[in-house]
Amino acid sequence: MAAVDPGQLSDRLDLEMRDDASDGQGGIVAGFALVTSLWARVEPVSVTHEEQADAAVFTVTHRISIRFRADLQAGMRFCKGARVFTIQAFHDPDETRRYLVCRCTEEGR
């Protein structure tokens, strides 16, 4: 990957992590908690669509570049308004601990 231009990190995203709560009956209620807001570059990569329960569902894969963070984990997510990008995988493109490139999916109906 070519060097990331910091000026291209122009999308403001919220980074969230899982924060499950007990439902009081031995189960859990899935939830997310805000970790931080950060600047990122969001690039759509591919789109697929399928039918689930008579509804068309599409999944868009994105490449999201951010400044390096040591606390990032797969399963965390980025949010931009009502849009949710779930982190599937990430890597340090040049192993300098300056940037991370995240492979994310966004589902919609």
pLDDT of residue 26: 80
> pLDDT tens digits, the chain, 109 residues: what are they?
456 778 899 999 999 998 888 888 888 888 899 999 999 999 999 998 887 777 788 889 999 999 999 999 998 999 999 999 999 999 999 999 999 999 999 976 5
Residue 83: HSE in the Cβ half-sphere, 13 Å Cα cutoff? 14
State how far the alpha carbon of 71 is from the alpha carbons of 7, 44, 78, in Å: 23, 24, 14
The answer regarding whether domain 9-108 maps to CATH 2.40.10.270 reads: yes
**Rounded CA separation 68/55 (Å):** 38
Cβ pair 75, 33 in contact under 8 A = no
The residues that bridge with 15 in the sheet, in sequence order, are 36, 78
What is this structure's pTM?
Answer: 0.84
